[in-house]
Structure 1
Amino acid sequence: MTPAVLFLLFLSVMDVCLSAPAEVKNLTDEFTDSVPRPKLDIKIPVLHGDIAVPDTFFKNADQCTARGCKWPKSGLYVYVPYYISPYFSRKEQSIILRGLQSFHQTTCIRFIPWDSGVRDYIYFFSQPNSGCWSYLGRQKGKQCISLEKNGCVNYSTVQHEILHALGFNHEQVRSDRDKYVRILFDNIQQKQQYNFRKVPTNNLRTPYDFNSVMHYHKYAFSRNRLPTIEAKSDPNLNFGNAQEMSANDIARVNRLYRCNTSSRLQYAKHADAQH
């Protein structure tokens, strides 16, 4: 369920994240089975749409970032360790890696293979009926990103769920959304209406973006095949089908994590030198 960011941090029904993986693919296109393996004893999360809710309390964007759910920055970069389950085929792993690498090209986020001794990292897994979901922002310890093989392992979905893990929520719930869209609650499945509730957000000085990879499509969770979201500027406008991050999605990452975008080439050269 990957509605095609506006920024903010908040909040679907699974099982544990699989048994221990046998191999992991790093960002050099080589597989290895000699890397340490994380323990996978996780609790089943409560899911709201495609966002996993911690069993402590709900968090909104501003409060969450202030309390430390942003990933820490070290020098030029924000390093985010990752681990990919070998349950994915090599083709599927390549799609996930391409999604990770896309952040390297346009932001200061750097995804690095998980190593033992690292507490906080993201773990990509798949199970039958696990769906597509992620936590919002950095959690303490291992945090899963579910990419079910049947429908979730595609480039835009990978970017979407990674953006959740970096601390971003869906576009249509941002604080100023009522200026741009009408939420047609009468057409929304009752059990899914929470996915459309407006929440306080830090919009990072970026405009509302119908082209965001984080925007729901206009018929999301419809109970009667009628639109659930309508653009005020044009009721016939189609949206929510982004194939990749928009310029605003990228700008929000860079602003939240204070990336020096004028030094993008410097980032790339520095990263190449380290690898």
Structure 2
Amino acid sequence: MVVLRWIIPLILVATSLADCNHDRPPIARYGSDDPYDKEEASRVAMQIDELDEDDKQNPWELSGLFEGDIVLDKKVSRNGALKEKYRWTKGIVPYYIAENNFSDEEKQAIRKGLRAIAEQSCIKFRRYRKEDTSWVVFRSNSSGCWSYVGMRPGGQTINLQAPRCIKHGTVIHEALHALGFWHQHSSRDRDKYVRILWENIIPSKKHNFKKCNCTDFGVAYDYGSIMHYTSMVFSKNGKPTIKPLQEALIMGQNFYLSTGDALKLRRMYKRQCSRRRNTQNWEPFSEHFSSMDDIFG
């Protein structure tokens, strides 16, 4: 116990120093401008702050953007974002965590969310370097939990409102958007698996239930996907807005990458990852502070 008392502070200090020592990217081209006006930003922030730990609704569902947490690029259609040029080169995602936006514990939560993706796919996360032309910056200076879909040249933001958005599942969810995932409920074959209860949806939110021409890479519809809406999202009357047509033990969760999510990710990036010599993501994770300099390679 005595040893732990001084080892743990050393781990946190070393992690903080590592964050300060690596390259800092320029202002991201995508997501640096707040997607909300002041009134909407305040409303979104308040809704998320008021979420209880046991609340079944996910914070990203309350983030006030398209389908809750997606920032749409006016120059890129939903179907356009499926093109391979929006996949990360060689399956490698340079990332940067804004230094003054998060506590050391929150930074660790972000890294562990990325680690969960790396462990179940060929995706590799590494610290931003000056020569990178595309990267993700994690920040918390806006309201809500949100991301763009797919890679954007010139840098892009994943916003995680502290502390409610800095949950393991929420980090995974937003990172999967950046990797190219849309929400499961918007898949083109969804009517075979769920019924949208339009009569229970807030009228101004009905556009969030439109289907997209998104490929599923041959992976079956997944009720347990971390990208699936919960049943009560955008309800105007406290009644369900989505009903499964098959018996589902769970529909929408914010805890882990499902088997279907992992399979889809591996198939999505099969070509990109095959272009790099070494597909091993990283060395086995160690809690020792000496390994914190660059966790993901």
Q: Structures share a fold, TM > 0.5?
A: yes
Higher helix share: 2
Aligned counterpart for 1:184 among listed residues 197, 200, 205 = 197
How do 1:55-74 residues align onto structure 2 when only pairs under 5 Å count?
A: 55-60=74-79, 63-66=80-83, 68-73=85-90
Instruction: For 1:145 and 1:118, locate their aligned partners in 2 and report how far apart those are by CA, in whole Å.
Output: 17
Alignment of 1:37-186 (within 5 A): 37-40=24-27, 42-45=32-35, 47-48=65-66, 49-60=68-79, 63-66=80-83, 68-73=85-90, 78-86=91-99, 87-127=101-141, 130-186=143-199
Alpha-carbon spacing, 1:219–1:255, altered in 2? closer, same or farther (3 Å):
same
Q: Which has the larger radius of gyration?
A: 2
Letter in 2 for 1:57: V
Query: Structure 1, residues 1-50: CA drift from partner, whole Å, max 9, x if none?
Result: xxxxxxxxxxxxxxxxxxxxxxxx9xx88624233322226334473120
Measured in 2, the distance between the counterparts of 1:180 and 1:157 equals 24
Partners of 2:155 and 2:261 in 1: CA distance: 25
Distance 1:267 1:167 in 2: 19
TM norm structure 2: 0.73
**What's the offset of the Cα at 1:193?**
1.4
Structure 2 unmatched runs, 5+:
1-11, 37-64, 285-295
* Identical positions, percent: 35
SS at match of 1:253: helix
Which secondary structure does the structure 2 equivalent of 1:52 belong to?
A: coil
Q: When you count strand as a share of all residues, which structure comes out higher? A: 1
Partner of 1:207: 220
Q: Secondary structure at the match of 1:68?
A: helix
TM value normalised by structure 1: 0.78
Q: What number of residue pairs does the alignment pair up?
A: 237
CA contact (8 A) 2:170 2:254 kept: no
CA pair 202-32 structure 1, distance change in 2 beyond 3 A: closer
Cα deviation for residue 59 of structure 1 reads 2.4
Q: Report how far residue 164 of structure 1 moved.
A: 0.4
Cα distance in 1, alignment partners of residues 75 and 279 from structure 2: 37
1:20 corresponds in structure 2 to: none
CA root-mean-square deviation: 2.7
